[in-house]
Structure 1
Amino acid sequence: MTKETFNELYRKKEFSGLAPYKVENAVIMAAGFSSRFAPLSEVCPKALFPVKGEVLIERQIRQLQDAGIRDIYVVVGHKKELFYYLKEKFGVFIVENKEYQSRNNNSTLYAVRDYLGNSYICSSDNYFTENVFHPYEYQPYYSCLYAEGETSEYCLTADENDKITHVKVGGADSWYMFGHVYVNKEFSKRYISYLTKEYNLPEIRQAYWEEIYMKHLDTLTLYQKRFQPGTIQEFDSLDDLRAFDSFYGTHSQEELLLFLANSLLRT
């Protein structure tokens, strides 16, 4: 099916013809330490920080559900017990990553390898200023933003159809990986095959899941999906969060620790 036909069927809501493109589920990665937010993250995982009046991961779950995505797998590790309430509140599935302390986030995808198909892969600390999710997706993609000047992010080269052909760490005046990913059944099957075969290799233990994708770029197809500046927010440091939500900039660290502890009591 051409993209034009897909868009026309989607516009007319003729969804019966779009069955192979239906998004089946979403994975939200929430197992990490968020060590750059210590000591705040030692009290409350970053995914559970309230941002502009909403808990980060709750906002993302609501956006997925508003797009018709009902099967949502939240992969937990650090302070896992604090996430259990999400199962009752939103009906999500909680999956434990038992290796989060000794491996990078490839272990999160390994924990949900049986569920990956037509799936969104999301980071629990992303904040989307608008709903970026859809019930149907035409092709697998990595969302990206444009960097003017130098950046240390994963920079992309793509062909005339936006198929990613090369990824490198760092660059300038380039589109770079940032935010959520959509993978289809073909991608998932191949990726999980590589992940399973290579999982016990010493060099894979501390690899990001994207590094395994980059290693097999010739057979794992993703397209770049461009977003406007500001649509996707990611908080790598407290300064990033303070710049986005003034509340964090007007309170001391001690006040924020108390605020986060009290926020957890309300979940």
Structure 2
Amino acid sequence: MISRNEFNEYINHEQYDCIQQHKVTNAIILAAGKSKRFKPISDYCPKGLSIVKGEVLVERQIKQLQAVGINDITLVVGYKKEMFFYLTDKYDVKIVVNDHYDTQDNVSSLRLVLDQLDNTYICSVDNYYPENLFNTYEYRGFYSTIYVENNSDEWVVTTDELGVINDVIIGAPSGHIMLGFVYFDRQFSEKFKQVILDVEGIDEYNHHVWEYLYMKHLDTLKLGIKEFDSRSILEFDTIDDAINFDESFLKNNTNGKFD
């Protein structure tokens, strides 16, 4: 395996033939949930199809991925699934339907695409990236993080001397929080597939996000972190989050429904 310095040198000199094993092959966008905290808009429109600063949220992410050459993109949908179907014609993306979106968390979505996990970006439909953070090549698997202080409810990670996540603490007051897209490299994907198959039928994991499964298997599932500036990754958990970023959000998404 080449070193990170060698990888960066190959990138800087555009010697891409030397790093083909590091090329991102595809992306999975998780978009099945009901977004209950996004009411009343989510009553009639999935969060991923809401308009933020003039763009459909999920379309922006698709276009950013395609801009760096990642054209193999799959959306896992569930709630109001038919509203996403137009994306297959507009952007040539694949659609996978999760019929358990209302009774299970997103581990069930990843189970549906295990055969697609390779050098794969795992994305959430409710993230917004002011600048394109995706790359054609990535050195190793990672979870995107930003540093926060005085926070009480996020998932904070610590790392070992090699920068590999060795602990996840929910509710630590300060630190690097898990936020944004994740990159599964080929080695991680193979181990993740085995873990998710091993826990199939264990109900505990069906009612948590997939990161809970990851957190319980840190000894097997190794990811580094990739640090970003706090302004680089936005997450719209609630309508207020979206309005704080885009003052026209309600106007562009209600279309008079609540006048």
After TM superposition, where is structure 1 displaced by more than 2 Å over at least 4 residues in a row? 255-261
Q: Is it true that 1:140 corresponds to 2:141 in the alignment?
A: yes
CA distance in 1 between counterparts of 2:239 and 2:80 reads 20
Aligned to 2:86: 85
Unaligned regions of 5+ residues in structure 1, if any? 262-267
SS of corresponding position for 2:104: coil
| 1:196 aligned partner, one-letter code | L
| 1:238-253 paired onto structure 2 within 5 Å | 238-248=239-249, 251=251
The CA deviation at 1:208 is 1.1
Measure, in 2, the Cα distance between the counterparts of 1:163 and 1:143. Answer: 12
* SS of 1:246 mapped into structure 2: coil
Secondary structure of 2:48's counterpart equals helix
**2:185 maps to amino acid:** N
**Which residue of structure 1 lines up, in the alignment, with residue 4 of structure 2?**
3
Distance 1:259 1:137, change over 3 A: farther
Determine helix, strand or coil for the equivalent of 2:134: coil
Structure 2 match to 1:34: 35
Matched, 1:96 2:73: no
Partner secondary structure for residue 237 of structure 2: coil
In the alignment, the residues of structure 2 paired with residue 241 and residue 151 of structure 1 have an alpha-carbon distance, to the nearest angstrom, of: 21
Q: Which amino acid aligns with 2:202?
A: L
2:223 corresponds to which letter in structure 1?
L
Q: CA deviation at 1:202?
A: 1.6
The residue type paired with residue 194 of structure 1 is V
Structure 2 residue aligned with 1:257: 254
CA–CA separation in structure 1 for the residues paired with 2:90 and 2:147: 36
The equivalent residue for 1:68 is: 69
Question: What is aligned with 1:264?
Answer: none
Aligned to 2:24: 23
For residues 152-172 of structure 1, the C-alpha deviation after alignment (integer angstroms, 9 at most, x for no partner) is 111011122221110011112
Partner of 1:198: 199
2: CA distance between counterparts of 1:30 and 1:239?
A: 20
Distance 1:222 1:54 in 2: 32
Answering whether residue 218 of structure 2 is matched by residue 217 of structure 1, we say: yes
Amino acid in structure 1 at the alignment position of 2:87: L
Matches within 5 A, 1:166-181: 166-181=167-182
Identity %: 43
* Aligned equivalent of 1:227: 228
- CA distance in 2 between partners of 1:184 and 1:260 (Å): 44
Matches of 1:145 and 1:106, distance apart in 2: 24
Aligned length: 257
Change (3 A) 1:35 1:139: same
Q: For 2:249, what is the secondary structure of its paired residue?
A: helix
- Deviation track 1:51-77 (CA, whole Å, cap 9, x = no partner) reads 001110000000000011010000100
If the length of structure 2 is used for normalisation, what is the TM-score?
0.96
- Please say if residues 53 and 249 of structure 2, whose CA atoms lie closer than 8 Å, have aligned partners that are also in contact: no
The alpha carbon displacement at 1:96 in A equals 0.7
Correspondence for 1:46: 47
Question: Which string of whole-angstrom CA distances, capped at 9 and with x for unpartnered residues, describes residues 101-125 of structure 1?
Answer: 1100101111111101100000011
Q: Which moved more, 1:39-48 or 1:57-66?
A: 39-48
Q: What is the Cα deviation at residue 256 of structure 1? A: 4.3
**Partners of 1:25 and 1:72 within 8 A in 2:** yes
State the secondary structure of the residue aligned to 1:68: coil
User: Deviation digits for residues 173-206 of structure 1, max 9, x if unmatched?
Assistant: 2111011000011111111111112121121110
What residue identity is the alignment partner of 1:116? L
Code of the residue aligned with 1:258 in structure 2: it is N
Q: What letter matches 2:37 in structure 1? A: R
Equivalent residue letter for 2:254: L
> How far apart, CA to CA, are the structure 2 residues paired with 1:162 and 1:54?
35
Contact 1:43 1:257 survives alignment (8 Å):
no
Name the aligned partner's letter for residue 169 of structure 1.
I
1:213-246 deviations in Å (ceiling 9; x for gaps): 1111011110011100110110111111110001
Residue type at the aligned position of 1:165: N
SS of the residue aligned with 2:151?
Answer: strand
- Taking a change above 3 Å as real, the CA distance of residues 213 and 122 of structure 1, as seen in their structure-2 partners, is same
Task: Check whether the contact 2:39–2:239 (CA below 8 A) recurs between aligned residues.
Answer: no
Partners of 1:99 and 1:260 in 2: how far apart? Answer: 29
